[in-house]
Amino acid sequence: MNERIIEKLKYCLKYEKKITFLVGAGLSAESGIPTFRGKDGYWVSGSKNYKAQEIGTYKMFCENPEEVWKWFLYRKSITEFAKPNTGHLMLKEIEDLLKDNFALISQNIDGLHTKAGNSKERSFFIHGDFDYVRCGYECSKELYPFPKEINLLNRNKDVITEEEQRYLKCPKCGKNLRPHVLWFDEYYDDYYYKTDKVLKAAKNTGILFIIGTSGATNLPQTVCFTVLSKGGTVVEINTEESYFSEILENKQNGIILREKSSDFLTELKEEISKFM
């Protein structure tokens, strides 16, 4: 393990600084879930009739909720049966070791951190969570569990039945429910996406591990710059170049590792357990 990382981990534990993990689709790739911008990524394939940046919008939800739900039910049918991989399980064990020194900022909506056992208190799902739905017209801000009556096994991405559409009605106002995900034409907020808590954690972070993300969205970028501006160390773990590589390359507090997420997290867990 890189000596600078070990030194910084010891510093964080001594001075009660956060050891923060900012993760993306690359972490779940090893669970068989497509990434977004990879070769067969969601943003590359999109749906039968629409580009992802069209169908993943509140505008499309209002104009054509059926088309939007067809596509999100198809994506949900992939995450529903996926299992946490070694990377997720190591993050759980690292949280158990670090307790309140630990923070997890995840862009993934696949629910695999929850399945792996990471706590709700120290995990921030900044793009939403597929395990919940909410009123598409905000008659209330309540999050409802995803309707279990909807069959997700072997889903055809071009079909949604009338019965299924009935389960996707708001129990309070009867209007369409929506998946609890952040869409392209929407902004981060603290109520649904925990932005204030995420930035507070970033300000108190001694070392940030950025794992399996291309860095295409702005709150993760802000988290990185906030940690660097506070003198924190930022480590990128990615099998390829990302938005963060260029930023960290010339930074004294930047470290770039071209590794798979599960390999790195296994080694890190071993290292941390040595001095706990």
- Order the strands of the 18-23 sheet from edge to edge: 123-125, 102-106, 18-23, 205-211, 233-237, 254-257
User: Please, what is the Cα angle at 214 between 243 and 199, to 5 degrees?
Assistant: 80
Using the rule CB under 6 A, is 214 a contact of ligand APR?
A: yes
Q: How far is the CB of 262 from ligand APR (least distance, A)?
A: 7
**Minimum distance between the CB of residue 225 and ligand APR, rounded to whole angstroms?**
17
Name residues contacting ligand APR, limited to 104-123 (CB under 6 A): 107
Of the pair 7, 270, the CB lying nearest ligand APR is at 270
Q: Given strand 144-145, what is the order of strands in its sheet?
A: 144-145, 128-135, 177-181
The two structure tokens encoding residue 135: 């009123």
| 261 part of the interface to ligand APR, by CB under 6 A | yes
Dig out the tokens for 261 from the structure: 């997420």
User: Which residues are catalytic, by number?
Assistant: 127
Q: Does 101 bind ligand APR (CB under 6 A)?
A: no
Measure the CA–CA gap between 20 and 16, rounded to whole angstroms. 12
Give the total of residues touching ligand APR (CB under 6 A). 24
The overall longest dimension of the chain from CA atoms, in Å, is: 59
Tell me the sheet residues that pair with 64.
Answer: none
Choosing from 4, 6, 38, 230, the residue that interacts with ligand APR (CB under 6 A) is 38
Q: Does the protein bind ligand APR through residue 46 (CB under 6 A)?
A: no
Burial of 100 by CB count in 10 Å (0-12 exposed, 13-18 middle, 19+ buried)?
exposed
For ligand APR, which is the closer residue by CB, 36 or 192?
36
Answer for which of 113, 134, 155, 260 binds ligand APR (CB under 6 A) is 260
Task: Between 17 and 127, name the residue whose CB sits nearer to ligand APR.
Answer: 127
Shortest CB 96 distance to ligand APR, Å: 22
Strand segments (E) across the chain: 18-23, 102-106, 123-125, 128-135, 144-145, 177-181, 205-211, 233-237, 254-257
Whose Cβ is closer to ligand APR: residue 18's or residue 127's?
127
Query: Could you say which of 3, 40, 149, 240 contacts ligand APR (CB under 6 A)?
Result: 240
Segment lying near ligand APR (by CB under 6 A), choices 169-177, 192-200, 234-242, 249-257: 234-242
The residues of the shown chain that bind ligand APR, judged by CB under 6 A, are 24-26, 29-30, 35-38, 41, 107, 127, 212-214, 216-217, 237-240, 242, 260-261
